[in-house]
Structure 1
Amino acid sequence: MTLTNDFTQKLYENFAENPKFRAVENAATKNGLLNALEARSSHANNLPEFSIDLTSDPVTNQKQSGRCWMFAAMNTFRHKVINNFKLENFELSQAYPYFWDKYEKSNWFFEQLIENSEMDDRRLKFLLQTPQQDGGQWDMIVAIFEKYGVMPKAAYPESSASSTSRELNQYLNKLLRQDAQLLLDAVKAGKDVAALKESLLQEIFNFLAATLGLPPQEFDFAFRNKDKELVKFSGTPKEFYDQFVAVDLDNYVSIINAPTADKPYNKSYTVEFLGNVVGARDVKHLNVDMSRFKKLAIAQMQQGETVWFGCDVGQVSNRKSGLLTLDAYDFETALDIEFTQDKAGRLDYGESLMTHAMVLAGVDLDENGNSTQWKVENSWGKDAGEFNGYFVASDAWMDEYTYQIVVRKDLLTEEELAAYAAEPQVLLPWDPMGALA
């Protein structure tokens, strides 16, 4: 229907004559919508007490970059290093895998264009929209660790571009789109693109090395542990991984909860065009219902190991207070607005997808062993929230807005292992399960 003046006048009067709405108007225009609607009771309902509490190590800070998936993975590793080597605190270099991920994603982008040069316009536009970005998924960081190893932050510290990545991404994508045109024109002309691709990758490498710093191929590192013992290392990043981290990454799998009709539970899935390292293992997920999803996360924490997880962190999230809880804001009382769309509907209609990766560092269990709330280690620095950078997530919030965890294979049943190992269904490039945290 056409919006007539009479109809709009009726809406105007309905609002103007409602004293509750006028009171909310005053509060929201003065203080902002969410500040005005913040529910005080949500603080008392979500106190940071957990029956399983695995770490209180100082949180890291990804600053103005989208590297949460890297930070979350390396935070799970650094807790092991801190405990195993009796350190006060320790960080792995987040800038180091960032460099190699940018390099590998550029090559991945080139390969997708060359191998699929006759792709339809929608797929080509999808690739060109964001040739590369800061985000990623678990299997992508595994590919970087397995190929390049890790190193301490002291050996390859942050740069301006790794901490504030907007300019780097802007100009790298500008360069990659230009390169895409050169490559596709060469393919259409029947030319051998191998030499052209090599020259383009040299240009990319030069850009990254100048912007982020040339990563060392070997380095020296030393520290004193809590017992005042001096520990020295000299070698490559891969040797450092083997000596200090020593996690067999093949033992970990990605579990998702996507309750949409196109993704039956207990089946495996991958996503077209999703990856970073050519020749590495595919990004692959096993879809399970939310009850099983949480049981797997709990089981890993009960054995003393934190859990990498992906969620939609911006949904009803109180960053100032460090609360992820459905009762954070009271829209219903203030504005008679109720958000009723379920998890499947939010995925299908583009309202939600995975936007951020963090670490499950604890959980509170009731007398029956069921979760009631979760301790979340974020990577936004110690001043985010009221708990030194850790957040509290209610169990109901986890149900609605958590999509992925990474757990050990030995926690899965034989049926789940078989389903994960089976040939995965290939999802379209723009499927929400292809979102990068």
Structure 2
Amino acid sequence: MKKYKRLIIIILVLIIGALLATFIRKMLNKNKYKRIKTEYVFTDVINLGCTPVKQQGASNTCWSYTGNSFLESEMIRMGKEPVEISQVFTARQAYLDKAHNYVRLHGGLTMGEGGQLHDVLNVFRKYGAMPRSAYAGLPGNHTYNDFREMTPLLNAMLKVLVKGRPLTPNWEKAYSATLDAHLGVVPEKFDYKGKVYTARTFADQVIGIDPDDYIGFASVTDQPYYKPFVLLVPDNWSFDSSYNVPMQDLTSIIDRALQQGYTVAWTTDVSEKGFSWQYGIAYVPEKPFDKMSNDEKKTMFVKPSTEKKITAEERQQAFDNWATTDDHAMHIVGLAKDQHGKEYYVVKNSWGKANDFKGYMYVTKEFVNYKTITLMLHKGALDPSLRARLKI
């Protein structure tokens, strides 16, 4: 009996020791990677109306979250009561159209969860929109989007499909059924504030925007300026056009839009070392990251720093050699200054509120010049001379 008691005591000691060692390791790691408190102080210059920050979860649907956040701000600008638009309804309908393009191109198209801002307008135009309360795309007990199981399954279905000859009839039904299984069946009709709508009538009567009132911009040096062109990035699966403008026009367009009360939807590259979600800061460091000392790397987001001035040629080179990639979409909703008077765009993200600015970012104009992929905004926000030049 005494032998068993000793054995139990030894086992308990080992368990407690293991737990204590794990706790100590966690505390050491926590201290090792503890961030230095930022010294940035921001003052709002322009703060436009927008809905609360959302969480896109485990889904690459930033384009839908951003595009619909943008439409919600458009409702505010037009004097309407904003409603949270179903981001998953928009994404689901876009996935159906993307699947059709994939099949028509015999598999010669990038498949995945990504998209472009114009996809939100295309879905609105073709299918309408729903409030999130009518279709959240969260079956069962799910509380956030998680497409990690669904997307590989959908992609595998399409890869098998395009290998067959002739094409399997009614493949769309099987594809839609898979979407239904993971996101829930889209209701044909739903109640909103005591009135019954379809996706079409809700888009037209409640949201009330005209998709043709919006325009996209990009900036490349290998296409004519002030003309539409197709930006060749993988997520532009619909091959929609944007207007090409010189690099310096990007911030001019954003500035005038904000001054006139219009927000701007923005796609960009967030893989840069000068982008920090935790700190909520994005800028272009004057010194290359690989030439910084360890102390400089640790403190690069602690206080405002001087930036490298980017040329159009450097911007284009980064795009051509894949240093700039089409990673993320966010919503520009304002302008702020730091304690030294430098201007930053106030940017609403869709990664929840787990950063220093509760889900918002402060992004320098140099970063926007360098890393913008596309912009989307209302035509009414443009300078009349630019509209005349674009003939719109």
Common fold by TM > 0.5: yes
* 2:353 aligned with 1:382: yes
How far, CA to CA, are the matches of 1:348 and 1:313 in structure 2? 17
* 2:228 aligned with 1:268: yes
What is the identity, as a one-letter code, of the residue corresponding to 2:187? P
> Which of 152, 166, 173 is the aligned partner of 2:155?
173
How far, CA to CA, are the matches of 2:29 and 2:323 in structure 1? 26
The 5 Å alignment of 1:253-402 reads: 253-258=215-220, 260=221, 262-270=222-230, 283-315=240-272, 316-327=274-285, 331-334=290-293, 342-364=314-336, 372-383=343-354, 385-402=355-372
Deviation at 1:330, TM superposition (A): 6.0
Whether the aligned pair in 1 keeps the contact of 2:231 and 2:242 (CA below 8 Å) is no
How far, CA to CA, are the matches of 1:168 and 1:371 in structure 2? 44
Q: Secondary structure at the match of 2:162?
A: helix
Please say which of residues 329-338 and 342-351 is displaced more in the overlay: 329-338
Deviation at 1:327, TM superposition (A): 4.0
TM-score by length of 1: 0.69
CA 1:67–1:420: 2 relative to 1, 3 Å = farther
CA 1:150–1:202: 2 relative to 1, 3 Å = same
What is the identity, as a one-letter code, of the residue corresponding to 2:102? F
Q: Secondary structure at the match of 1:163?
A: coil
Aligned residues: 341
Deviation at 1:86, TM superposition (A): 4.6
Whether the aligned pair in 2 keeps the contact of 1:101 and 1:276 (CA below 8 Å) is no
Whether the aligned pair in 2 keeps the contact of 1:140 and 1:276 (CA below 8 Å) is no
Residue number in structure 2 paired with 1:234 = 196
How far, CA to CA, are the matches of 2:366 and 2:137 in structure 1? 37
TM-score by length of 2: 0.77
Deviation at 1:81, TM superposition (A): 4.0
What is the identity, as a one-letter code, of the residue corresponding to 1:352? T
Report the identity percentage: 24
Residue number in structure 2 paired with 1:134 = 113
What is the identity, as a one-letter code, of the residue corresponding to 1:75? S
Whether the aligned pair in 1 keeps the contact of 2:348 and 2:361 (CA below 8 Å) is yes
Whether the aligned pair in 2 keeps the contact of 1:108 and 1:275 (CA below 8 Å) is no
Deviation at 1:292, TM superposition (A): 1.5
Residue number in structure 2 paired with 1:111 = 104
CA 1:135–1:64: 2 relative to 1, 3 Å = same
Unaligned runs of 5+ in 2: 1-27, 298-306
Residue number in structure 2 paired with 1:11 = none
Residue number in structure 2 paired with 1:94 = 87
CA 1:112–1:56: 2 relative to 1, 3 Å = closer
Whether the aligned pair in 1 keeps the contact of 2:56 and 2:145 (CA below 8 Å) is yes
Q: Secondary structure at the match of 1:166?
A: coil
Measured against aligned partners, the alpha-carbon deviations of 1:126-179 in whole angstroms (never above 9, x if no partner) come to 53xx3x211111222211111111111111123269711121110100000000
The 5 Å alignment of 1:19-38 reads: none
Alpha carbon RMSD of aligned pairs, Å? 3.3
* 2:131 aligned with 1:152: yes
Q: Secondary structure at the match of 1:243?
A: helix
> Which of 202, 205, 209 is the aligned partner of 1:243?
205
How far, CA to CA, are the matches of 1:330 and 1:47 in structure 2? 24
